[in-house]
Amino acid sequence: MRTQVGIIGAGPAGLLLSHLLHRRGIESIVIENRSRGYIEARVRAGVMEHWVAELVDEIGMGERMRREGLVHEGIEISFSGGRRRIDLKALTGGKSIMVYGQQEFVKDFVAARLAAGTPIRFEAGSVSVHDLGGGSPAIRFTDSDGALRQIECDFIAGCDGFHGICRPAIPDLAIFERSYPFAWLGILAEAAPSSDELIYSSHDNGFALHSMRSPELTRLYLQVAPDEDIAEWPDDRIWEELQTRLTQDGGWRLNEGKVLQKGITPMRSFVCETMRHGRLFLAGDAAHIVPPTGAKGMNLAAADVLVLSRALVAYYESGETALLDAYPAACLGRIWKAQRFSWWMTSMLHVFPDQDEFLRRIQRAEIDFVTGHEAGARALAENYVGLPFDA
């Protein structure tokens, strides 16, 4: 087999890249080690920055997102028994966020890629990359029928997530990372959202988040210990703790319902430099991880592949390699700003295990500043809806 761009991973990064390239007449094949059913059911992030929702529209993929996604013009921050709203729209000159599940995005893009004839090889085994430094790199894998396959490409896009095989194929990487002394326990519940907007709550018991997927489905998170055993969290205990951390003075309570899905997500910040080795380019979670507090994971993946697709289009149109050479530098400024924002939101809103009362009071003062002064609120809002791209 031969293609122009071999894409490893059918997550948001790989699928969006394949779609952007297809629109500009560039062929790709997507290699995914899981089944279609698995990637379409995996519940993960849910917030798209303003420009991501606009891009999805522009490339003809916005129909279901506009029908089923929820546009939010503000978020709420709860602390010290009260709640304050950050008016994203007013603070950012009209921008908002789109709440649309990552797996809905994946479903829409898988369907569109297959309809357009782009091969997606699901359940590929033993995926490996070869000859990255030469003119024609290759991807090898075993197909779902057990046959050994090789795809020769002009370029390989490593969109295979944090645990993929592409990043380890790059020698001499510089890694910058932080792990946090807590994790998030997330549930998807058959309950109407209890508020129209997301609520980020800083509580003495730990952080909690109220989010949603539809008018019938709530997505909720609790800060827990990093080594927490999910078996210690029967549904009753989860609801009780969510009520404690999210309930306000004045009687507002969270709607409860059947828990459809639950899981624990570790919290990590991670960046690798560089994002390129010869003809292999990393994008999305393969190159960086943010803690979920800033809702940036999927947005950074989209930003990387937009930059990469433009560089590949320039190469195929004119043989120009300058944009390909500039790819890591063009992405890393934005990546580090999103890292800073995610680390800052995480630090401001969570209870740290060894934290004393001094730090707790500093956190409260910071939340008070951010939610009570326009300058603080605007800085949060501009980061949250998505910063402009670097020139």
Is residue 139 within 8 A of residue 127, CB to CB? The reply is: yes
Query: Among this protein's residues, is 296 annotated catalytic?
Result: yes
Output 111 or 351, the one with its CB closest to ligand APR.
Answer: 111
Output 277 or 350, the one with its CB closest to ligand PHB.
Answer: 350
Residue 5 interacts with ligand APR (CB under 6 A)?
no
Residue 45 interacts with ligand PHB (CB under 6 A)?
yes
Output 9 or 62, the one with its CB closest to ligand APR.
Answer: 9
How many beta carbons lie within 10 A of that of residue 390, not counting itself?
12
**Among the residue ranges 11-19, 175-183, 252-260, 324-332, the one whose residues contact ligand APR (CB under 6 A):** 11-19
46 binds, among ligand PHB, ligand APR, none (CB under 5 to 8 A by kind): ligand PHB
Is residue 280 within 8 A of residue 129, CB to CB? The reply is: yes
> How many residues line the site for ligand APR (CB under 6 A)?
28
165 binds, among ligand PHB, ligand APR, none (CB under 5 to 8 A by kind): ligand APR
Query: Among this protein's residues, is 221 annotated catalytic?
Result: no
Cβ burial 289-324 (10 Å sphere, 16+ → b, else e):
bbbbbbbbbbbbbbbbbbbbbbbbbebbeeeeeebb
How many beta carbons lie within 10 A of that of residue 35, not counting itself?
12
Output 6 or 62, the one with its CB closest to ligand APR.
Answer: 6
Q: DSSP string covering 118-133, please?
A: --EETT-EEEEEE-TT
Element (H, E) at 72: strand 70-72
Peptide bond before residue 371 is cis, with ω within 30 degrees of 0: no
Residue 49 interacts with ligand APR (CB under 6 A)?
no
* Residue choice 295, 300, 302, 348 for contact with ligand PHB (CB under 6 A): 295
User: 39 Cβ partners below 8 Å, 6+ apart?
Assistant: 10, 11, 32, 103, 106, 110
CB of 320 to ligand PHB, least distance (A): 38
**DSSP annotation of 350:** S
Query: Among this protein's residues, is 262 annotated catalytic?
Result: no
Output 11 or 328, the one with its CB closest to ligand APR.
Answer: 11
Binding mask 265-294 for ligand APR (x = CB under 6 A): -------------------xx---------
Q: Which of 22, 50, 72, 350 is catalytic?
A: 72
Q: Which of 100, 180, 200, 327 is catalytic?
A: 200
CB of 342 to ligand PHB, least distance (A): 9
Query: Among this protein's residues, is 315 annotated catalytic?
Result: no
Residue 159 interacts with ligand APR (CB under 6 A)?
yes
Residue carrying structure tokens 């459809």: 260
Interatomic CA distance for residues 134 and 116, integer angstroms: 30
3-class DSSP state for residue 145? coil
Query: Among this protein's residues, is 316 annotated catalytic?
Result: no
Interatomic CA distance for residues 92 and 387, integer angstroms: 10
301 binds, among ligand PHB, ligand APR, none (CB under 5 to 8 A by kind): ligand APR
**DSSP annotation of 2:** B
Q: How would you list the strands of the sheet with 174-190, edge to edge? A: 82-86, 75-79, 199-203, 206-214, 217-224, 174-190, 258-273, 288-289
Q: DSSP string covering 75-109, please?
A: EEEEETTEEEEE-HHHHTTS--EEE--HHHHHHHH
Is residue 296 within 8 A of residue 304, CB to CB? The reply is: no
CB of 45 to ligand PHB, least distance (A): 5
199 binds, among ligand APR, ligand PHB, none (CB under 5 to 8 A by kind): none
Please report, as a single letter, which amino acid is at residue 316: Y
102 binds, among ligand PHB, ligand APR, none (CB under 5 to 8 A by kind): ligand APR
Interatomic CA distance for residues 227 and 276, integer angstroms: 34
Output 173 or 387, the one with its CB closest to ligand PHB.
Answer: 387
**Among the residue ranges 162-170, 265-273, 289-297, 348-356, the one whose residues contact ligand PHB (CB under 6 A):** 289-297
Output 102 or 346, the one with its CB closest to ligand APR.
Answer: 102
Residue 127 interacts with ligand APR (CB under 6 A)?
yes
**Among the residue ranges 107-115, 287-295, 303-311, 365-373, the one whose residues contact ligand PHB (CB under 6 A):** 287-295
Which residues contribute to the site for ligand APR (CB under 6 A)? Answer: 8-14, 31-34, 39, 44-45, 102, 124, 127, 159-161, 163-165, 284-285, 297-298, 301
Active site residues: 72, 200, 292, 296, 384
